[in-house]
Structure 1
Amino acid sequence: MFTSKESFKSIFQDNVVSKLGKTLEEVSSEDVYTILSRMIRESAGKEWAATNREFKDNEEKQVYYLSLEFLIGRLLGNNLLNMGVLEIVQEGLEDLGVSLSEIEEQEADAGLGNGGLGRLAACFMDSLASLGYAGHGCGIRYKYGLFEQKIVDGNQVELPDNWLQKGNEWEVRRDDRKVEVRFGGNVQVHEKDGELEFSLHDYEGVWAIPYDVPVIGYKGNKESSHMNTLRLWSAEPMREMASRSSSSGGNYYSYLDYNRSVESISEFLYPDDSQYEGRLLRLKQQYFLCSAGLQSILRTYDKLGLSYEELPKKIAIHINDTHPTLVIPELMRILLDEKGYGWDTAWEIVTKTVSYTNHTILSEALEKWPTHMVRELLPRVYMIIEEINTRFCGMLMDKYPNDPDRVAHMAIVFDDQVKMAHLAIAGSHSINGVAALHTDILKQREMKNFYELYPDRFNNKTNGITHRRWLMHANPELSQLVSESIGTRWITHPQEMVGILKYSEDASFQERTAQIKLNNKQKLASYIEQKYDVKVNTDSIFDVQVKRLHAYKRQFLNILHIIHLYHQIKAMPSLDMVPRTFIFGAKAAPSYYLAKSTIKLINSVANVVNNDPDVKDKLNVFFLENYSVSLAEKIIPAADVSEQISTASKEASGTGNMKFMMNGALTVGTLDGANVEMHEMLGDNNMFIFGLHANQVMDYYQHGGYNARDIYNSDSRIQEVMNQLIERGPFTNHNNEFDILYRSILDMNDEYFVLKDFSAYTEAHVQIDLAYRNRKEWLKKSIHNIGHSGKFSSDLTIGQYASEIWKIKPVDRP
C-alpha cells in the first residue's frame, strides 16, 4: 500500500486528481473521506481475498456468529489503526493541511445496532480477526438502523437514521451470492419409498442480497492483516412474485404491497412490536437472517465435498441471544427435507454445530412467539419445532415421570407460545452466560431445571471489549503512555497492562495521566460548547452514565440524586463540594414511555440547574443527544466517574463498565454483572460499591418484605425529591408531567429498588467527593483501574470461546 508518509501523500494526491478530477485545494472533507476510505478498502481487498483463499485451501474450521446487531461504529480510523498505517496517514494529511479527526467525522455511524449486545458482537469480530481465527459475522443490513434521536423541549423525538444516505464505502454488494428466503405458503406431504417428503407451495419468496464488509484484524508486527467477513443481508423483491401475482389474478396494487412488505424486512432495526404487525415483522427479520445466513454457510461447506455428518468438524454456528434461534429448526429442515437425513442423525448434527449465548434474565427479553404466528409465517419450520418439542418433552417425562410441572415449565411449546430460549438450549451443545454472577443466576435460578438436565452444556464467558478501539484509537495519548512505560507487547497481550501498576505512585506517571485526562475533558467540553453553546468546567468531576435507557439501569436513581444535590446547594450556597458535571447519553425505545419520561426529567433538571446562578459553579447536567459509538469515543476517555448502578442481578455483564475502567474512570456501582469481577481485582479502594446484593434482591422478589412507601415515609430527602415529580415546582411545567415516574416507584412498589438504594448511593457520592480531593490517591486509583482492565479485553474472551466452545485454532498464515 504505502510504507512512508511521502509515499502516502503521493498516492493520495494522485487519487484525488484521477478519481475526482480536482486539485487538493478544491476537495471537501467529504471528498477526502471518500478517497481515503476507498484507498484503504482497495488495499485491504487483496488481503481479504488471500485470507479467504487460505480458508478454502486449508479447509479451516470456520465460525459464523449470527446476531441481529453489529454496532461497529465508524471504520476509517479503526481500519487505519489495524492495518498499521494510522500515524503515516495522520501525519501525511497534516502536511497537506487536513485533519484526520475532521475526516473521520464525515463517516456515518453504521446503524446496525442499539447497545451492548451489538457492541459486543463488533468487539468479537475485531478480536476474531486480530487473533487470526476464521470467524465471520452474519447480520442484517438495516436501511435506517434504530433512529436518530433529537431532543426537542426536553423530549426525545425519533427521526429516521438514514446512515446509508451517502452510501457505505466499506461494503461490497454480492449479487452472485443472493439466496431465496420463503415465507408463508402451504406444506404438502408426499410418500416416496415409504418415507414422507415435505414441500412448500404458494409461498412468498424474497431475495436476500449479501453485502460484505471486511473485518480487518490488527496487523502488529505481522506482514499483513488477517481479514474476516461481516456479511449483512438486504431484502429485495423477486420478479417471479410479480408474475405469480399476475397469473393468479393479482393486480398492480397487490404487487406494490408485496414490494413494501419485502423492503420492510431490512428497513429498520427492531421495528415497534407494540402491535401485532410489528411483532410479525420482527419474527420475519429473524427468520430472514437465519435462512439467508444458513444457506450461505452451507453453500461454502458444500464446496468441501464432505458428508453433512462432518459439518460440526468444519462449521460452528453461534447465536448471539435468542434472536437467531430459528437457525436450529431451519438447519433441521434443510437436513431432513433437502439432504435426506433421518431425524436422529440430523438432530445430532444440529446440536453439535450450534452454540448459544444468553444475555439476560429479564422475562421481557426472553423471547416468546405466539404459535399461530409462527405456524402461519413459517409452516414447515413450525412443524419441526413441534416435533422437537414433542421429542424433548417425551424425554423429560421419561426422566421426571412424577414431575409434570417441571416438564410444562421446560417445554419449548406451551400455552400457545414458542419459547425461544428453551429451543436454543435444547438445540445447542453449549450455553454460556456473560459474567460470573449472570451465569450463576442462570444455573441456580432462571435456568436451573435446564442446568440440572444439561450440566455440561452450561459455562461462563465474561464479556470483553477490544482495547484497540477503546484505548488505542479512542485515547491515543494514554495508549502511548502505556507503551512508553511497559513496551508494546501489551497490544497483543492485553493482560500485561497490569505492568503499569508499578507506576501507580510515581509522581511523573501520575501527572501525565492527569494531563491526558484533562486533555480529553477539554475535547469533550469543546464538543458540548460547540453543539449546545454551554461552557463546561473542566476542573469539575465528570460523572458519566451513558447506556441504553431502561428502568433496571436506574438512570432515575442518578437524576433523583442530582435533584437532591441541587436542593442541598440551594439550602446551603456555601456548601463545600467539588464541582460536579453529570453527563447522560441514552436512547429510549420509542414505545417505552417510562424511559422517555426519564429523559424528559433529566433535561428538565438540566435546564433548571444550568441556568441557576446559585448552583451553576458547582453543578451542571448535560444530556447529549443521539448517543452512538463515535460519541462514546469522545465521552469515555473524558470521564472521571463511571455510573454502573443497575439493580443487582439485572445487568447480565455490561461492557461500558470495562471501557470506562480501561480509560481510567472510577466506578460507582452495584455488585452486578461484570462489576463483581472488576471488584474482585480492584477491591473497595479503587471502586465505590453500594446497594443491595443480588441475593438480597432475589430474596425480596421471592419472599416479599419490601415496601417502597415505608422508605418514602421515613426519609425526608426521598420525600423531597419524589414530591418534586408531582408538585408544581422548578422541574415540572404542568401537572402530571412525571406522574408515571412517581407511580412506578410508589404505586408499583419500586420494582428495581431505587428508594432502597438511594441512601447508600448518596453516601457513595459523598465518598467520591472526599476521594477526589486527594489528587495523588485518586490518580493512583485511576492507574489501578487502567492496569487491571486488560483482563476484560475481548481477545481473552474470544480465546476462551475458540478453545472451549468452537474448538478452533488461529489460522497459520504464511
Structure 2
Amino acid sequence: MFSYKEEFKKSFVTRMERKGMEKTAELAYETLWEMTQEWIQKRWNRTNQLYRDNNEKKLYYFSIEFLIGRVLGQNLINLNFYDTVKEGLDELGLQLSEIEELETEPGLGNGGLGRLAACFVDSLASLGLPGHGYGLRYKGGLFTQHFVNGYQTEQPTQWIQQEHNVDIRREELAVDISYYGEIQVVMGLDGLKVNVENPEWVKAIPYDMPVVGANGGTVNTLRLWQAEVSDRPFPGREDYAVYEHETAKITDRLYPDDSLEAGKILRLKQQYFLCSASLQTILNNRSFSIEALPENAAIQINDTHPALAIPELMRLLIDDHALSWDQAWDITTRTISYTNHTILEEAMGKWDSRLIQSLLPRIYLIIEEIDRRFKKSLQQQELDEEALHKLSIIENGTIKMAVLAVVGSYKVNGVAKLHTEILKKREMKELNEQFPNKFHNKTNGITHRRWLLKANHELSGLITEAIGPRWIKEPERLSELHYFAQNHSFLQDFQAIKSLKKEHLIHHLQRNQNVVVDPDSIFDIHIKRFHGYKRQLMNILHIQMLYDRIKRDPTYRPYPRTFFFGGKAAPSYHFAKQVIKMINTVASKVNSDPLARKHLHVVFVENYNVTQAEYLIPAADVSEQISTASKEASGTGNMKLMMNGALTIGTFDGANVEIFEEVGQENAFVFGMRAEQVMQYEKEKSYNPKEIIDSDSEIAQLMEELIKGEWTDGKNNVDFIVGQLMEDSDPYFVLKDFRSYSKAHEQILKAYAHPEKWAEMCVKNIAASGIFSSDRTIQQYSNDVWHLTKIPSIY
C-alpha cells in the first residue's frame, strides 16, 4: 500500500508518535519492522491462497543450514520499497543504513551450503515458483567467533528475541518425533506390522518465516523446526530435567562437536528431526491421495544431512499409510532428489550402524532392507570387490549416506561441471553405471538481489544507468556491459564506486574492530569456511614469504596490499584453528613492523557472516579462490566477488572453471595443477613435499621458521600444520602449488599498475557474471528435475 514517499512518511511518523517514546534509532527500527511485516503478511496470505486455489506441484527444499543474513533491508528491496523508504527516512532525519545495523543476523548457517540454500529460496519466490525451505531453528547458531591472543573462541549466537523475530510460531502444526524404543512385530488384519514400543518422544514446533520474492509478488515459506518437550509420556526416563535438557539440545547449535559419541548421537537426532518433522507435515497437510505424492511434491535434499528422508518416507508410507514395500519404494524414488556437494570422503556422510540401530531402530531396519534389495539386484552382474564396496549402503558396520541418497532418489546432481564429471567418472562411477540417467549437473548460483542490489547499491545504479533496469529481472543481460568495458567515463565511475565501497569497509572495521586500513592498497580478500583444501594456509605462508623478502631485500618494495581473511573453524578441527592462530600472529607481526606495514597489511575479520560479506565483497579487488583442484565442489563466493568486479586468483577447481570460460583466462589469474594432475598424484601416491622443500630455498626457509614456531608463539601451536605438510605428505598440495601461486600474485601487481586496464578487466567480470545467478540454477532445476509451474501473482 505504501508505494509513495509521502504516504510512507505520514504512516511512519503516526506510528512513532503513537508509541510516545523518545525518537531513537531503536524505535525507528521497531516501527519500520512492524510496517514491513504488515506489507509482507498481505502478500504472504495471498500467495498461500493462490497455492491452495491452484493446487500445483510444490517443492520442499530440505537443508541443515539456511544462511539467510539480515532480512529487513533485503525484504524492502524485494518489495520494491527500499528507495522510497530510504528517501522518506532521509527527510525525517533518519538513516536507513543505521536502522538496518540494529537487526541481529539469524544464526541458521555457516558456509556456502547454507548460503546456497538461502539464495535458492529467494530465487524460487522471485521466479513465482511454489517452493519452500525446511530447516532447523538453532537457538545458538554455529557460534559467534572472537579472538583471544589470536586463538578462536566460540560463544553461542544470541539472535532469538522476544519481539520482532523474523519467524512466526505455528503451534497448531506441531508433530511428534520418536527416538529409541524396542521393535515389535505383530500380525494384523493386513499382515505383519512393525511397531516401536516405549520410544522417547520429542515435539517439533514449526516457526514460519516469509521468503519475499522480487517485486513482492510471491512470498514463500521457510519453515524452521524447534525441539521441545513432548506431551506424550516418556517411559524409562525418571529424570525429567535431563530429558528436557537433552531435548533442547537438538536445536541448540548447528553442527555440534561430533568428536565424541554423544556429539554423533546429537547430530543424528538433528538430521532425523528435520526429516521426520518435515515429511510428517507434508503428508498431513496434503490435498491429494498418498499414491499421487510424486505428482504433487518434489523433495530436494541438500547434501547428505537430510538423507534420512528416504527411509523416513518409507516408514511413513508403510507403517502409517499401509502401503506395500514396492508401492512405498516407487513413490519415494519418484519424490526425492539429491544434491551432492563434495567429493571429500570425510564429508560424504557415514554413520556407525550401531548408533542408528539404537537411536532409530525402525529406520535402521528399513535401511537394512533397502541395502539387501539393492545388493540382490546386483547379483546378476559380475562385479569386482571394489565395485561392490562402492555400491554398498551398509558395509562393515558403517552406513554410507551418500550411497543411500543416490539409490533412494530419482535425480542426483553435482554443483559444477567439473564436480559432476568427477562424481560420474571417479567418486560415484559405479553408481553412475547402475543409474546412468540419474546424474546431472546444476552449477550453483547466487541471488543478485542480495549480492549486487543490496550489497552494492552504487554499482547497481551505475549498471542500470548504462544498460537499463531489465538486468534486474534478467541478470543474463549483464552481458550488455561488455560494450562499456572500454568506455573511459564508465570505467572512471566504476573506480570511484570501488573506492567508495573500500571506504565503507574501512569505516565498518574501524567501528567494530578498531582496525585502520590504507584505502589505496589492493584489497585481497579470502573469505571462506576454514578447511585444509581451501588453503588459507597457502595464503598466509605466501604473506610470510613476502614479509621475509621485504626485510631481506632492500630493493623489494611492492605496491601496498591489504590481505583480508574471514571464516570460522569447526570447534574440534584443530588444524584449521591453528591456521587461524597463525594468521593472527603473522598479522600482529607484519602490521606492527614500521617497514613491512607500508607494503603489507593483514586483517582477520572477526565473526565472518553474511553482514560482514556485504561489506567485504563490494570492496574487493582480488578474490582468493585457491582450493586444491578437484576438492571444491563449486564455490559461490567466487561468483559474488566476480559480480562485484573483483578479479579472481584461482585454480581450475569447482565453478572457477566455468568462471574462467565465461570471462576468459586473460581476465583472471589462474595458477596451480589441474584436477587430473592432482588425482593422478593421489592415485600413484607419488608426491613428496620434501622434494619441493629441498629444491626451493625460500620455501625451505618458510618451513624452518614454521617448524620453530616463530610465527605462532611456539611449536605447540603449529604441530597439526607441520604434521599435515610433512608427516601427511601435504594432502592438499600447498607446497606443490606454492610457486605457481606466488607468480600469479606477481602478475596481479603488474596488472594493477595499469588502473584503467584493471578496471576494464573488472567490468568484463561483471558482464560475464549473469549466468551465475541462482535464478538460472533454479529454473534449470524446475525444468529438468522438479517440474514446477509458475503461479501468477496479483502484485
- Please state how far the C-alpha of 1:409 moved relative to its aligned partner: 2.7
Which residue of 331, 342, 351 maps to 1:349? 331
- Please state how far the C-alpha of 1:570 moved relative to its aligned partner: 1.1
1:643 maps to a residue whose letter is E
**Counterpart in the other structure of 1:111:** 107
2:302 maps to a residue whose letter is N
2:279 maps to a residue whose letter is L
CA distance in 2, matches of 1:81, 1:574: 51
1:310 correspondence with 2:329: no
- Please state how far the C-alpha of 1:728 moved relative to its aligned partner: 5.9
**Counterpart in the other structure of 1:381:** 363
Residues 63-113 of structure 1, C-alpha deviation per residue, up to 9 Å, x if partnerless?
000000000000000000000100111111111211111111111111000
- Please state how far the C-alpha of 1:568 moved relative to its aligned partner: 1.3
Which residue of 183, 208, 217 maps to 1:225? 217
Which residue of 379, 390, 396 maps to 2:378? 396
Which residue of 220, 226, 235 maps to 1:234? 226
1:539 correspondence with 2:520: yes
1:53 correspondence with 2:62: no
Q: 1:749 to 1:370 in 2, by over 3 A?
A: same
User: Does the CA contact (< 8 Å) of 2:217 and 2:793 recur in 1?
Assistant: no
**Counterpart in the other structure of 1:768:** 748
**Counterpart in the other structure of 1:146:** 142
- Please state how far the C-alpha of 1:124 moved relative to its aligned partner: 0.2
1:198 maps to a residue whose letter is V
User: Does the CA contact (< 8 Å) of 2:550 and 2:557 recur in 1?
Assistant: no
CA distance in 1, matches of 2:426, 2:441: 15
CA distance in 2, matches of 1:652, 1:80: 33
Residues 438-467 of structure 1, C-alpha deviation per residue, up to 9 Å, x if partnerless?
000000000000001111000000000000
Which residue of 626, 630, 642 maps to 2:607? 626
Which residue of 675, 688, 706 maps to 1:707? 688
2:339 maps to a residue whose letter is T
Name the SS of the counterpart of 2:498 in structure 1. Answer: helix
Q: 1:419 to 1:44 in 2, by over 3 A?
A: same
1:240 maps to a residue whose letter is R
**Counterpart in the other structure of 1:508:** 489
**Counterpart in the other structure of 2:13:** 13
The alignment-based identity, stated in percent, is: 50
Which residue of 405, 416, 421 maps to 1:435? 416
Q: 1:741 to 1:405 in 2, by over 3 A?
A: closer
1:521 maps to a residue whose letter is K
- Please state how far the C-alpha of 1:405 moved relative to its aligned partner: 4.2
- Please state how far the C-alpha of 1:166 moved relative to its aligned partner: 5.2
Q: What aligned pairs does 1:82-161 form with structure 2 within 5 A after superposition?
A: 82-161=78-157
CA distance in 1, matches of 2:131, 2:383: 45
- Please state how far the C-alpha of 1:402 moved relative to its aligned partner: 5.0
Name the SS of the counterpart of 1:181 in structure 2. Answer: strand
**Counterpart in the other structure of 2:348:** 366
Question: Structure 1 segments of 4 or more deviating over 4 A?
Answer: 165-168
Residues 123-148 of structure 1, C-alpha deviation per residue, up to 9 Å, x if partnerless?
00000000000000000000010000
Which residue of 460, 464, 467 maps to 1:486? 467
CA distance in 2, matches of 1:136, 1:152: 40
User: Does the CA contact (< 8 Å) of 1:34 and 1:169 recur in 2?
Assistant: no
**Counterpart in the other structure of 1:3:** 3
1:373 maps to a residue whose letter is L
Name the SS of the counterpart of 2:717 in structure 1. Answer: coil
User: Does the CA contact (< 8 Å) of 2:137 and 2:225 recur in 1?
Assistant: yes
- Please state how far the C-alpha of 1:739 moved relative to its aligned partner: 2.9
- Please state how far the C-alpha of 1:374 moved relative to its aligned partner: 0.6
Query: What is the aligned-residue RMSD (CA, Å)?
Result: 1.3
1:278 correspondence with 2:263: yes
2:586 maps to a residue whose letter is V
**Counterpart in the other structure of 1:410:** 391
User: Does the CA contact (< 8 Å) of 1:726 and 1:736 recur in 2?
Assistant: no
- Please state how far the C-alpha of 1:404 moved relative to its aligned partner: 4.7
**Counterpart in the other structure of 1:335:** 317
**Counterpart in the other structure of 1:181:** 177
Q: 1:755 to 1:59 in 2, by over 3 A?
A: same
2:224 maps to a residue whose letter is L
CA distance in 2, matches of 1:539, 1:17: 45
CA distance in 1, matches of 2:298, 2:409: 11
- Please state how far the C-alpha of 1:746 moved relative to its aligned partner: 1.5
User: Does the CA contact (< 8 Å) of 1:700 and 1:706 recur in 2?
Assistant: yes
Residues 505-542 of structure 1, C-alpha deviation per residue, up to 9 Å, x if partnerless?
11000000000000000111122223333321111100
Name the SS of the counterpart of 1:239 in structure 2. Answer: coil
Residues 356-411 of structure 1, C-alpha deviation per residue, up to 9 Å, x if partnerless?
0000000110111111111111111111111111101100112x245354223311
CA distance in 1, matches of 2:354, 2:29: 49
CA distance in 2, matches of 1:239, 1:51: 33
The 10-residue stretch of structure 1 (653-662 or 326-335) with the greater mean CA deviation from structure 2:
326-335
Which residue of 783, 795, 813 maps to 2:763? 783
**Counterpart in the other structure of 1:326:** 308
User: Does the CA contact (< 8 Å) of 2:337 and 2:412 recur in 1?
Assistant: yes
**Counterpart in the other structure of 2:276:** 291
Residues 133-164 of structure 1, C-alpha deviation per residue, up to 9 Å, x if partnerless?
00000000000100000011111011111111
User: Does the CA contact (< 8 Å) of 2:181 and 2:199 recur in 1?
Assistant: yes
Q: Can you give the 5+ residue segments of structure 2 that lack an aligned partner in the other structure?
A: none
User: Does the CA contact (< 8 Å) of 1:127 and 1:466 recur in 2?
Assistant: yes
- Please state how far the C-alpha of 1:608 moved relative to its aligned partner: 0.7
**Counterpart in the other structure of 2:697:** 716
- Please state how far the C-alpha of 1:310 moved relative to its aligned partner: 1.1
Residues 736-772 of structure 1, C-alpha deviation per residue, up to 9 Å, x if partnerless?
3323212210221100001100100000000000000
Q: 1:137 to 1:810 in 2, by over 3 A?
A: same
2:763 maps to a residue whose letter is I
Q: What aligned pairs does 1:468-487 form with structure 2 within 5 A after superposition?
A: 468-487=449-468
**Counterpart in the other structure of 2:657:** 676
The 10-residue stretch of structure 1 (365-374 or 532-541) with the greater mean CA deviation from structure 2:
532-541
User: Does the CA contact (< 8 Å) of 2:709 and 2:718 recur in 1?
Assistant: no
- Please state how far the C-alpha of 1:567 moved relative to its aligned partner: 1.1
CA distance in 1, matches of 2:670, 2:130: 40
CA distance in 2, matches of 1:284, 1:194: 31
1:570 correspondence with 2:585: no
Residues 190-210 of structure 1, C-alpha deviation per residue, up to 9 Å, x if partnerless?
112361112222011111000
CA distance in 2, matches of 1:278, 1:704: 34
Name the SS of the counterpart of 2:525 in structure 1. Answer: strand
CA distance in 1, matches of 2:521, 2:554: 17
CA distance in 2, matches of 1:376, 1:52: 40
The 10-residue stretch of structure 1 (743-752 or 490-499) with the greater mean CA deviation from structure 2:
743-752
Residues 268-316 of structure 1, C-alpha deviation per residue, up to 9 Å, x if partnerless?
1111000000000000000000000001111221xx2x32221111100
Residues 651-693 of structure 1, C-alpha deviation per residue, up to 9 Å, x if partnerless?
0000000000000000000000000000111122100000010
Name the SS of the counterpart of 1:736 in structure 2. Answer: helix
Name the SS of the counterpart of 1:791 in structure 2. Answer: helix
Which residue of 426, 443, 457 maps to 1:445? 426
**Counterpart in the other structure of 2:442:** 461
CA distance in 2, matches of 1:510, 1:601: 38
Q: 1:493 to 1:193 in 2, by over 3 A?
A: same
CA distance in 2, matches of 1:330, 1:228: 25
TM-score under structure 1 length normalisation: 0.96
1:236 maps to a residue whose letter is E
Name the SS of the counterpart of 2:75 in structure 1. Answer: helix
1:757 maps to a residue whose letter is D
Q: 1:17 to 1:670 in 2, by over 3 A?
A: same
User: Does the CA contact (< 8 Å) of 1:573 and 1:615 recur in 2?
Assistant: no
1:720 maps to a residue whose letter is Q
Q: Can you give the 5+ residue segments of structure 1 that lack an aligned partner in the other structure?
A: none
